[in-house]
Amino acid sequence: MIGAGRTKQYANVLDKPLSKGRQEVSLSAFSFLFSEIVQYNQTQVDNIAELERRLEDAGYAVGARVLELLCHREKGNRRETRLLGILSFVHSTVWKVLFGKVADSLEKGTEHEDEYMISENELLVNRFISVPKDMGAFNCGAFVAGIVKGVLDGAGFPAVVTAHFVPMEQQQRPRTTILIKFAEEVLRREAKLG
């Protein structure tokens, strides 16, 4: 058929569907923006715990929105209701959309039943960041921890989420572990669901 395969012509520009556009942003642009976020927050606080909390808050807002968006876009408006479901949603779907890859690992804590860990050898936000020695164990991954907390809270799995550096034997650089500690009610509900 003549003209088959040609894109449909729209008389009115407003009838045209929105293009999906590029799904990626420049890593440099993001890194500079993130660097400024950290620098700005640093001027607003007088201790490191406070800085960590502010970064987490910034991430929380991202997480809440990402959950909404991805449930709609990827899961046909269905929300995960089970613990492992939501964890793998964070580990794969959320990570892929935000960082372009699945997280390096998702493990269950060995000491506590309510702890789960998502680990990343080279967390995207930490790619260019060297934390000075005098800041101790501070990790800018607090922002990502905030995102995870935002997603989990929004989905009805309240948890305390923190980011830590974990030294690795074979590597020069420590990796970042996002530690998720679920609230008691979540585990009780999960047990009831069987």
Partner 1 sequence: MAAAINCLFIINKSGGLIFYKDCGSAGRMDTNDSLRLASLWHSMHAISQQLSPVNGCSGIQLLQADTFDLHCFQSLTGTKFFVVSEPGAQHMEPLLKVIYELYTDYVLKNPFYEMEMPIRCELFDINLSQAIQRDRVALLGR
Footprint of partner 1 (CB under 8 A):
28, 31-32, 34-39, 42, 128-132, 135, 140, 172-173
Task: Please say which residue, 45 or 129, places its beta carbon nearer to partner 1.
Answer: 129
Biggest distance spanned by C-alpha atoms of the chain: 71
Q: How far is the CB of 121 from partner 1 (least distance, A)?
A: 14
Q: How far is the CB of 137 from partner 1 (least distance, A)?
A: 14
Task: Please say which residue, 135 or 191, places its beta carbon nearer to partner 1.
Answer: 135
Task: Please say which residue, 55 or 87, places its beta carbon nearer to partner 1.
Answer: 55
Q: How far is the CB of 96 from partner 1 (least distance, A)?
A: 23
Whether 118 and 90 have beta carbons less than 8 Å apart is answered as yes
Q: How far is the CB of 131 from partner 1 (least distance, A)?
A: 7
Task: Please say which residue, 36 or 74, places its beta carbon nearer to partner 1.
Answer: 36
Q: How far is the CB of 5 from partner 1 (least distance, A)?
A: 44
Whole-number Cα distances in Å, 106 to 45, 79, 125, 143, 155: 32, 20, 19, 18, 19
Task: Please say which residue, 31 or 92, places its beta carbon nearer to partner 1.
Answer: 31
- State the Cα–Cα distance between residues 14 and 123, nearest whole angstrom: 41
- State the Cα–Cα distance between residues 58 and 56, nearest whole angstrom: 5
- State the Cα–Cα distance between residues 68 and 88, nearest whole angstrom: 16
Q: What sign results for the dihedral spanned by CA atoms 40, 43, 48, 49?
A: negative
| 37, burial (CB in 10 Å: exposed 0-12, middle 13-18, buried 19+) | middle
Q: How far is the CB of 42 from partner 1 (least distance, A)?
A: 7
Whether 127 and 139 have beta carbons less than 8 Å apart is answered as no
Task: Please say which residue, 28 or 77, places its beta carbon nearer to partner 1.
Answer: 28
Whole-number Cα distances in Å, 169 to 6, 14, 121, 139, 174: 57, 57, 12, 19, 9
